[in-house]
Amino acid sequence: MPFIAAGDPDLPTTAKLLKELAASGADLIEVGFPYSDPIADGPVIQASYTRALAKHVKLKEIFATITSVSREIQAPLVGMVSYAIIFRHGIDAFVQEAKAAGFAGLIVPDLPGDEASGFATLMARHQMDLIQLVAPTTPPDRAAKILKHATGFVYCIAVAGTTGVRKELAPQLAEMLKSLRTQTTLPLAVGFGISAPDQINHLKGKADGVIVGSAIVKLLENLASDSSKTDATLHDIGSFSKTLADAAHH
Partner 1 sequence: MSVALPDTPFSGHATSQVPDAEGRFGEFGRRFVPETLMHALEELTVEYAKAKADPSFQKQLDGLLHTFVGRPNPLYFAERLTNACGGAQIYFKREDLNHTGAHKINNTIGQTLLTLRMGKKRVIAETGAGQHGVATATACARFGLPCVVYMGEEDIRRQKLNVFIMRTMGAEVRPVTSGSRTLRDAINEAMRDWMASVEDTHYILGSVVGPHPFPMIVRDFQSVIGKEARSQCLATTGRLPDEVIACVGGGSNSAGMFYPFVDDASVEITGVEAGGRGPKAGDHASTLTFGNKGILHGTYSYVLQDEDGQTADVHSISAGLDYPGVGPEHAYWKDTGRVRYVNIGDKRALETMQYVARTEGILPALETSHAIAYALERAKQRKPSDIIVVCLSGRGDKDVNEVARLTGQEL
Any idea which residues carry the catalytic annotation? 30, 41
User: Strand, helix or coil at 91?
Assistant: helix
CA 215-217-219 angle, 5° bins: 80
Q: Which residues contact 89 (CB under 8 A, 6 or more apart)?
A: 59, 97
Cα separations in angstroms, 130 against 124, 136, 199, 236: 8, 20, 26, 31
CB closer to partner 1 out of 100 and 124:
124
184 belongs to the binding site for partner 1 (CB under 8 A) = no
The distance of closest approach from Cβ of residue 64 to partner 1 in the complex, given in angstroms and rounded to an integer, is 14
Q: How far apart are CA 135 and CA 116, in angstroms?
A: 16
Residue (106 or 245) nearer to partner 1, CB: 106
Kindly state whether residue 138 participates in binding partner 1, applying the rule CB under 8 A. Answer: yes
| Residue 12 touching partner 1 (CB under 8 A) | no
- The distance of closest approach from Cβ of residue 28 to partner 1 in the complex, given in angstroms and rounded to an integer, is 20
67 CB-side CA count, 13 A: 12
Strand partners, 77: 29, 103
**Of 72, 87, 126, 232, the one binding partner 1 by CB under 8 A:** 87
Residue 200 CB neighbour total at 10 angstroms: 23
- State phi, psi for 182 to the nearest 5 degrees: -80, -15
Choose one: 47-55, 212-220, 221-229, 234-242; the region binding partner 1 (CB under 8 A). Answer: 47-55
Chain positions 101 to 120 lying near partner 1, rule: CB under 8 A, are: 109-115, 117-119
Find the shortest distance in angstroms from Cβ 202 to partner 1. 21
Stretch that binds partner 1, among 18-26, 135-143, 183-191, 238-246 (CB under 8 A): 135-143
Interaction of residue 202 with partner 1, rule CB under 8 A: no
Nearest residue to 9 (alpha-carbon basis) of 250, 217, 207, 235: 217
Binding site for partner 1 (CB under 8 A): 35-40, 42-43, 46-47, 50, 53, 58-59, 82-92, 109-115, 117-119, 121-122, 133-139, 142, 146, 157, 159-162
